[in-house]
């Protein structure tokens, strides 16, 4: 059947491998099937014999017994099953590795299924070996918390499910030292102190000795108990380690607990990398606090774009309905389609199909989903000059998707990810100026960003709030210069008048003074949002009043804030939490448009 029509000039096409095809399952690895089958067994063998044994002969016997007990079977003819919608969308997928009747380690299996072959073959284990062994045996653990975990996430006490939590006296001492001041760390320390006070209230000494139920304050997910250090615990640490240092005292408590808790795993949880290294060097299990990570692998982050399989219209166009609607001064075509691939889509996700046989390409957006039925809407072609936004046109497919979100008044929250030079700031500013000065949809543009320097800080800056923020807004000044040069009709005087008008409608605000504010009919741009914590992002997004649109721009590969990673960044947090909401959208920009030098530098440096 013929493909539905779209604007005659589609956006520039990128390489197909930029986004995963909808019909292909994520391949496990590029290793042969025999290696893939044998890998879990070898890892299991290593994990078994890693336990302390008396001599080398016992180790050899254990390995031999394990390999005999779990031989590598011959490849079975039955292939590994792929996800249901994927299998239907692309039956002719790549050859899959035969299934093996072995019981692989859970984490290895998950990594093999979730990661495409282009990813790193060696994945970092978030959990320590003691935690993984306890998970396999189904034994509850005792987590000893370092102070920085509590100051990083005040609710971390209730994030350990059925496991118990232990607080050394030195952790409480450090909490007391950090509670003064108006910083985020001081506020978190005071919140933890109030939580601990509520937990120990109305309890006697025996209850503290036997553990306080963490579910006492209504946190039903926390089924473990909270233990405090109630007596001096001495343990022998290597000679030469300073005894008075807080980290070493906590390590001594962990070693003492390990000798007291017969057979029960004791794990130190710390955000301090050096603390974890010291613990591992002393033979103590230690791991990072990763409950604040939205994703363990940011390559699995929602991109907002999916490529349709080549046979999409053959499988989904049988009872297709189509109609046209005119909204916001633009007429678009809608299609109601039903088929097996629809449940894997999300509302406001962009879809595209670029046939290789020369037929018209299809670019659309998912507007509604009900079971296996979806309503698809065609897009406005912003790559055409007649649809330019403040003189800016889309240079590639992803920029066209982004402009459709930015110019849609029904979309209240937009997130744009991409490396340097993909056009995030330019597109956001152009859309903001067009909707503030031309269509009068918003009153003014408010720009803010995190003031985290790349190098050494230059010290205090003089002047008002806007004058202090102006050095941080160089990127916006550069883009305003580009946007202002595009208007050549009015001459030099006309450009100067336009620049004054633009400056009067753009306000630069600091994040430090956002608490308690409400923005009405504003176009709010949050630049460098990857440096925000999830709590700071929540503070900013909840400032939105009626008629306000919020944009979060950033590149999660350029995080300058200490203790933030790609998985725990506030930008990753909002992208994952807002996906599928009717009034939000996300696009990952994949191609740099700054210059050939910038593109080459981002690839080779």
Q: Where are the domains of the chain?
A: 129-288, 305-378, 409-452+463-604
CA-closest candidate to residue 587, choices 448, 421, 343, 404: 404
Write out pLDDT tens, residues 210-259: 889 888 888 888 888 999 988 887 777 777 788 778 888 899 899 889 88
Question: Alpha-carbon distance 382 to 396, whole Å?
Answer: 10
The pLDDT of residue 504: 76
For residue 18, pLDDT beyond 70: no
- Is CATH 3.40.50.1010 what the domain over 129-288 is classified as, yes or no? yes
Residue position matching structure tokens 């987590």? 143
How far, in whole angstroms, is CA 179 from its chain's centroid? 30
Three-class SS of residue 365? Answer: strand
Domain 409-452+463-604 in the same topology as domain 129-288: yes
**Are residues 346 and 366 in contact, defined by beta-carbon separation less than 8 angstroms?**
yes
Q: 305-378, what's its fold?
A: Elongation Factor Tu (Ef-tu); domain 3 (2.40.30)
| pTM of model > 0.75 | no
How does DSSP classify residue 434?
Answer: I
Strand 305-307 with 350-353, pairing: parallel
Question: Alpha-carbon distance 165 to 502, whole Å?
Answer: 55
CA-closest candidate to residue 48, choices 93, 103, 11: 103
CA-closest candidate to residue 65, choices 47, 89, 49: 49
Question: Alpha-carbon distance 343 to 352, whole Å?
Answer: 17
* Beta partners for residue 365, in sequence order: 350, 377
Q: Which of 162-166, 332-336, 357-361, 469-473 has the lowest mean pLDDT?
A: 469-473
Question: Alpha-carbon distance 273 to 563, whole Å?
Answer: 10
Other C-beta atoms closer than 10 Å to the C-beta of 22 total: 19
The pLDDT of residue 559: 86
**Are residues 551 and 416 in contact, defined by beta-carbon separation less than 8 angstroms?**
yes
Question: Alpha-carbon distance 485 to 479, whole Å?
Answer: 10
Task: Label residue 488 by pLDDT band (50, 70, 90).
Answer: low
Q: Span 503-516, mean pLDDT?
A: 77
What residues have CB less than 8 Å from 253, skipping those under 6 apart? 144, 166, 168, 170, 229, 233, 235
What residues have CB less than 8 Å from 506, skipping those under 6 apart? 444, 445, 446, 447, 476, 480
Question: Alpha-carbon distance 106 to 111, whole Å?
Answer: 9
**Are residues 537 and 573 in contact, defined by beta-carbon separation less than 8 angstroms?**
yes
Question: Alpha-carbon distance 214 to 283, whole Å?
Answer: 29
Question: Alpha-carbon distance 143 to 269, whole Å?
Answer: 7
Tokens of 405: 């979100």
Q: Considering the chain, what is the average pLDDT of its residues?
A: 76
In angstroms, the first-to-last Cα distance of the chain is 47
Q: CATH number for the 409-452+463-604 domain, one of 3.40.50.620, 3.40.50.300, 3.40.50.720, 3.20.20.70?
A: 3.40.50.300
Written as one string, the DSSP assignment of 536-596 is HHHHHHTTB-TT-EEEEEE-TT---STT--TTT-HHHHHHHHHTT-TTEEEEEE-S--S-H
Q: What angle do CA 112, 113, 115 make, to 5 degrees?
A: 70
In percent, the amount of the chain with pLDDT more than 70 equals 70
Write out pLDDT tens, residues 157-183: 888 888 899 999 999 999 999 888 877
Task: Label residue 26 by pLDDT band (50, 70, 90).
Answer: very low
For residue 61, pLDDT beyond 90: no
* Beta partners for residue 167, in sequence order: 228
Q: How many alpha carbons fall within 13 Å on the CB side of residue 487?
A: 18
Q: What count of residues does the chain have?
A: 605
Question: Alpha-carbon distance 414 to 350, whole Å?
Answer: 13
Question: Alpha-carbon distance 90 to 306, whole Å?
Answer: 14
Residue position matching structure tokens 């079971």? 371
For residue 289, pLDDT beyond 60: yes
Torsions phi, psi of 96, nearest 5?
-105, 155
Give how far Cα 532 sits from Cα of 163, 497, 569, Å: 30, 36, 6
Three-class SS of residue 204? Answer: coil
Three-class SS of residue 374? Answer: strand
Task: Label residue 344 by pLDDT band (50, 70, 90).
Answer: very high
Residue position matching structure tokens 């166009």? 317
């Amino acid at each position: 059947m013929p493909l539905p029509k779209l604007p005659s000039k589609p956006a520039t096409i990128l390489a197909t491998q930029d986004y995963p095809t909808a019909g292909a399952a994520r391949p496990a690895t590029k290793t042969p099937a025999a290696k893939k089958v044998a890998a879990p067994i070898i890892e299991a063998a290593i994990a078994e014999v890693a336990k302390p044994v008396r001599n080398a002969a016992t180790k050899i016997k254990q390995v031999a017994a394990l390999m005999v007990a779990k031989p590598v079977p011959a490849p079975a003819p039955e292939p590994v099953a792929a996800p249901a919608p994927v299998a239907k969308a692309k039956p002719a997928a790549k050859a899959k590795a035969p299934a093996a009747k072995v019981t692989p380690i859970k984490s290895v299996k998950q990594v093999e299924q979730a990661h495409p072959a282009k990813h790193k073959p060696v994945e970092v284990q978030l959990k320590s070996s003691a935690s993984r062994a306890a998970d396999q045996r189904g034994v509850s653990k005792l987590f000893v918390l370092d102070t920085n975990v509590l100051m990083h996430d005040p609710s971390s006490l209730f994030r350990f499910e059925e496991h118990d939590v232990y607080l050394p006296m030195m952790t409480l001492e450090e909490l007391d030292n950090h509670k003064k001041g108006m910083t985020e760390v001081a506020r978190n320390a005071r919140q933890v102190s109030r939580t601990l006070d509520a937990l120990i209230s109305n309890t006697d000494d025996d209850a503290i000795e036997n553990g306080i139920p963490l579910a006492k304050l209504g946190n039903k997910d926390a089924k473990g108990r909270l233990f405090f250090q109630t007596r001096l615990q001495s343990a022998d640490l290597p000679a030469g380690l300073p005894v008075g240092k807080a980290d070493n005292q906590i390590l001594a408590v962990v070693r003492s607990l390990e000798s007291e808790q017969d057979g029960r795993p004791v794990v130190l949880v710390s955000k301090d990398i050096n603390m974890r290294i010291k613990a591992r060097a002393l033979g103590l299990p230690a791991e990072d606090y990763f409950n604040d990570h939205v994703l363990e692998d940011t390559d699995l982050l929602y991109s907002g774009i999916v490529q349709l399989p080549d046979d999409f219209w053959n499988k989904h166009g049988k009872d297709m309905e189509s109609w046209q609607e005119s909204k916001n001064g633009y007429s678009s075509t809608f299609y109601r389609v039903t088929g097996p691939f629809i449940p894997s889509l999300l509302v406001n996700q962009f879809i595209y199909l670029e046939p290789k046989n020369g037929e018209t390409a299809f670019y659309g957006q998912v507007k509604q989903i009900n079971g296996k039925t979806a309503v698809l809407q065609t897009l406005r072609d912003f790559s055409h000059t007649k649809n330019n936004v403040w003189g800016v046109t889309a240079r590639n497919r992803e920029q066209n998707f982004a402009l459709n979100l930015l110019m849609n008044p029904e979309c209240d929250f937009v997130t744009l990810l991409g490396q340097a030079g993909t056009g995030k700031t330019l597109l956001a500013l152009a859309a903001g100026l067009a909707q503030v000065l031309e269509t009068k949809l918003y009153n003014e543009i408010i720009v803010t960003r995190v003031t985290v320097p790349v190098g050494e800080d230059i010290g205090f800056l003089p002047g008002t709030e806007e004058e202090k923020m102006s050095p941080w807004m160089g990127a916006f000044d550069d883009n305003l210069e580009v946007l202002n040069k595009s208007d050549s009709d009015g001459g030099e005087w006309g450009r100067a008048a336009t620049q004054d008008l633009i400056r009067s409608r753009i306000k630069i605000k600091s994040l430090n003074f956002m608490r308690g504010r409400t923005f009405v009919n504003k176009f709010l741009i949050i630049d460098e949002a990857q440096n925000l914590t999830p709590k700071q992002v929540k503070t900013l997004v909840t400032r939105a009043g009626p008629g306000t649109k919020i944009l979060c721009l950033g590149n999660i590969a350029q995080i300058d804030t200490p203790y933030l990673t790609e998985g725990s960044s506030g930008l990753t947090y909002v992208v994952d939490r807002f996906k599928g909401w009717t009034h939000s959208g996300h696009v990952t920009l994949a191609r740099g448009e700054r210059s050939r030098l910038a593109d080459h530098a981002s690839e080779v440096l």
